[in-house]
Amino acid sequence: MANPKPIKLSTAESGVYYRIMKCNFSKEEKSRLTELGFFSGNKLFVCFSKGFLVIKISSCRFFLSAFLADKITVSEAKAFL
């Protein structure tokens, strides 16, 4: 099976699980968002993606602007088991 192609989170599809590959946050953003689960290797689920994204990490939902989501590179992952 081929490795999934990395994409920007801002172009992710609704209803799909992704694994975070890389986060290009500023130093200030990184200190805040890493605590919330935005780090390489963590899985997320895209609930909604139209102009802004609603994503789920563990049991928490986050609303992200397309600008912030563009700083996160993800690849498709298997669903949580």
- Show the domains of the chain with their CATH numbers: 7-76 (2.30.30.90)
3-state secondary structure of 68: helix
| Residue given tokens 């490795």 in the structure block | 3
pLDDT of 10-22, one tens digit each? Answer: 999 999 999 999 9
Q: What type of residue sits at position 6?
A: P
Q: What are phi and psi of 11, to 5 degrees?
A: -105, 10
Which of 60, 5, 6 lies closest to 33, judged by CA? 60
Does the model's pTM come out above 0.75?
Answer: yes
Residue-wise pLDDT for 29-74, tens only, equals: 888 888 888 888 899 999 887 778 889 988 889 998 888 889 999 9
